[in-house]
Chains A and B, each alone.
Chain A
């Protein structure tokens, strides 16, 4: 079953602009993770935020988590053409220590 739902499904921006993607989920979580997938490739882990954290940074990435709204956002600042990829959120729930549930992803296109 799908836990996370990303929004928008697709996003097209110009190089240098910021990109914001959102993720909503339904049940309580231990952590929320964001992954990137280039076309036809495996997923690459970007950032993990735990349920007791509200914001996390990694380079040009900023992730927020609002557990009261059951939502998260991923902000990519100063985007580059190389950021073009699909971005997935994945939630880890209590009682299922090894399971991540993935959303359908946001396809980000950064135009040079």
Chain B
């Protein structure tokens, strides 16, 4: 089975705790992304990574951190500095297309994070 997996599906966090969301892909994609989705809203980019050991801040990176030690994995940590972390988090990946720009992104099933 090829695709992107995210775990866990549901996550509950107490205020002041850091939590890490997992994202793994076996599509051999170079680029990976993390998005946040709030109810009735579109997706907002948190971080993205074009290649192993490199990543860039997206539009709403404050209070989040990532790592990209392996091509297949791009975990997201939601830190206690994120003031309103309750949301649906989506991970995606895509191929590298230097000539044509952003290509199709393939999404995981998402993790719903709730802060208690």
Contact = CB atoms under 8 A, between A and B. Distances in A.
A42 B110 contact: yes
Contact of B100 (A1, A31, A41): A31
A109 interface: no
Interface residues of B, number: 34
For chain A, give the interface size range: 20 to 34
A44 B43 contact: no
Interface of B: 4, 6, 31, 33, 35, 40-45, 48, 50, 56, 58-59, 88, 90, 92, 94, 97-98, 100-110, 112
Given A33-B104, A43-B92, A44-B107, 17 more contacts: A2-B42, A30-B100, A40-B88, A40-B110, A40-B112, A42-B90, A42-B107, A43-B107, A48-B103, A93-B102, A96-B102, A97-B101, A97-B102, A98-B31, A98-B94, A99-B102, A100-B105
